[in-house]
Structure 1
């Protein structure tokens, strides 16, 4: 069925009871609400024949989706809504499809309207949701609070390789967001991922992931380790939901097109490797240069754990 997308904007003064939809945020140990301090102009992007079940908290009858959107904007619990033209039924939701992308389902005659960018709405409606991170509806001041919200739904703050994967899948631009590294924020867009070192004072949403894995490219630890520090090397990979790569895993990565010019440690003790064979080096199956004369300090090739 051909999908129909709609965009509309509602503009009105933000009263004391209204809360701004732009910047929902959570203080530590506080209920998530939407704080308001300015006039409001907010767009809702709609997709036909899609609903986000199980998150509605208020139902009413109104003449148009514009009026339904107005009701959402003045309800501090509302983050998205459904509208049925035939029944003039308005359902206010306490969550968004970008937070629960796997739960968005098809239902004839009902529009889902949310704050997501049109590209994300289209991606969600396409049915291809594999590897799509969920962006928390609330914005948090601390990494721990964002991580807790991800764990509440059986997810985790996205790892770097998961963000890279999402970017390749066409995930649209996000605000600076919490991810696995507690010392920086990530901005995800269709051309890659950029990172911003803390401190940043504004609250930020969290990017939550739960991507099942088959094959994924290796990742390299952000820090270097002493050659003898095998436990530290393993912990560095574990922080990335990974383990030090074996030569066979690096060969598999090479066969998938992965290349790296970094000399890094691997699972084999007292060796380091490059993913690519160079003349004169010891090479594993003609692909992975590795040598028993490693650097005294290096980063580690980590192969993501598979589920």
Structure 2
């Protein structure tokens, strides 16, 4: 396991001479409008690791403490690298928790970011958990979802959070995930869900796990029968699509059961993922999935995770 280096809070610790000039160009911002830090900025380090591709400024300073000071006074900066031998300080516009799979080894250069010390264990123990916490904190679910999509990810759905928790992803503050009506918190003992805060901004939990077989998920909202676009959008928010009858049967064959009558891929019908009893013919798919042309006028949707 790599050495963990803990930096104290930066304020009041500037006691050494500063070499080189401050970064002058402060026009660009790394976050979209509405972004907030939402946290105290205490930097923790991982030795001999760097996050390439996100540096925007190089300085020469006497210590990592002074490099951290430069990061604190630049609102573009989310993390930094420090090379003791060269006294080189590189300011970054992203963190390792946003791009955990991008970290690489580089002898003599250390990474410093806002992550908890336990995050280093995740980076160095060989387990891959493609989940990331957005660097910015957002007031709305839509803003967090947009940030995930910007990097080819999606707000995590529940089974992805369960997987991340089992793999030892560090604890998180209350964060946006796929369900827009609640927030998720990863703890040492699992995942918990809580009601939305009134005003506090929150980060988003973004996922990009390879989709193999997964159980269907159900939209938190109900939709009108004719609102096919809304039904598809509700599934899309869960990184999924309205299930086909074949997918529902596959889920049933793998042990998934649900007695709810919900919409699915075929319009103007609803289905129940349970063995057919009183349904026959075209109302019973392959002797397994009951589905009828007499759906409720408003219902939720069975969504099957997209496979990539």
TM class by smaller structure: 0.7 to 0.9
SS at match of 2:118: helix
Q: For residue 303 of structure 2, what is the aligned residue in structure 1?
A: 302
> Which residue of 167, 172, 180 corresponds with 2:170?
172
Q: For residue 135 of structure 1, what is the aligned residue in structure 2?
A: 133
Gaps of at least 5 residues in structure 2 are 15-28
Provide the C-alpha distance between the structure 1 equivalents of 2:169 and 2:78, rounded to a whole number of angstroms: 20
- The structural deviation recorded for 1:97 is 0.7
Provide the C-alpha distance between the structure 2 equivalents of 1:169 and 1:211, rounded to a whole number of angstroms: 13
Provide the C-alpha distance between the structure 2 equivalents of 1:93 and 1:25, rounded to a whole number of angstroms: 10
Q: For residue 211 of structure 1, what is the aligned residue in structure 2?
A: 209
Does 1:85 pair with 2:84?
yes
- The structural deviation recorded for 1:112 is 1.1
- Mapping of 1:1-307 within 5 angstroms? 2-10=1-9, 12-13=11-12, 28=33, 42-132=41-131, 134-189=132-187, 191-197=190-196, 200-225=198-223, 233-260=231-258, 262-267=260-265, 270-274=269-273, 277=275, 288=288, 290=290, 292=292, 296=296, 298-307=299-308
- Judging changes above 3 Å, is the alpha-carbon distance between structure 1 residues 301 and 106 closer, same or farther for their aligned structure 2 residues? same
- Judging changes above 3 Å, is the alpha-carbon distance between structure 1 residues 299 and 68 closer, same or farther for their aligned structure 2 residues? same
- Judging changes above 3 Å, is the alpha-carbon distance between structure 1 residues 293 and 53 closer, same or farther for their aligned structure 2 residues? closer
Which string of whole-angstrom CA distances, capped at 9 and with x for unpartnered residues, describes residues 117-159 of structure 1?
1232321334533431x22222233344334433433334444
| TM-align CA RMSD | 3.9
- The structural deviation recorded for 1:194 is 1.0
- The structural deviation recorded for 1:81 is 1.6
Gaps of at least 5 residues in structure 1 are 16-23
Q: How many residue pairs were aligned?
A: 288
Provide the C-alpha distance between the structure 2 equivalents of 1:80 and 1:251, rounded to a whole number of angstroms: 48
Provide the C-alpha distance between the structure 2 equivalents of 1:136 and 1:249, rounded to a whole number of angstroms: 32
Provide the C-alpha distance between the structure 2 equivalents of 1:136 and 1:147, rounded to a whole number of angstroms: 10
Check the 8 A contact 1:46/1:114 in 2, yes or no. yes
Which string of whole-angstrom CA distances, capped at 9 and with x for unpartnered residues, describes residues 7-60 of structure 1?
232353599xxxxxxxx996837xx68699xxx7x5422222210112223333
Which string of whole-angstrom CA distances, capped at 9 and with x for unpartnered residues, describes residues 71-129 of structure 1?
43343332212222333333222221112223211222222111111232321334533
Provide the C-alpha distance between the structure 1 equivalents of 2:229 and 2:60, rounded to a whole number of angstroms: 62
Per residue, is there more strand in 1 or in 2?
1
Provide the C-alpha distance between the structure 2 equivalents of 1:149 and 1:114, rounded to a whole number of angstroms: 20
Provide the C-alpha distance between the structure 1 equivalents of 2:59 and 2:270, rounded to a whole number of angstroms: 67
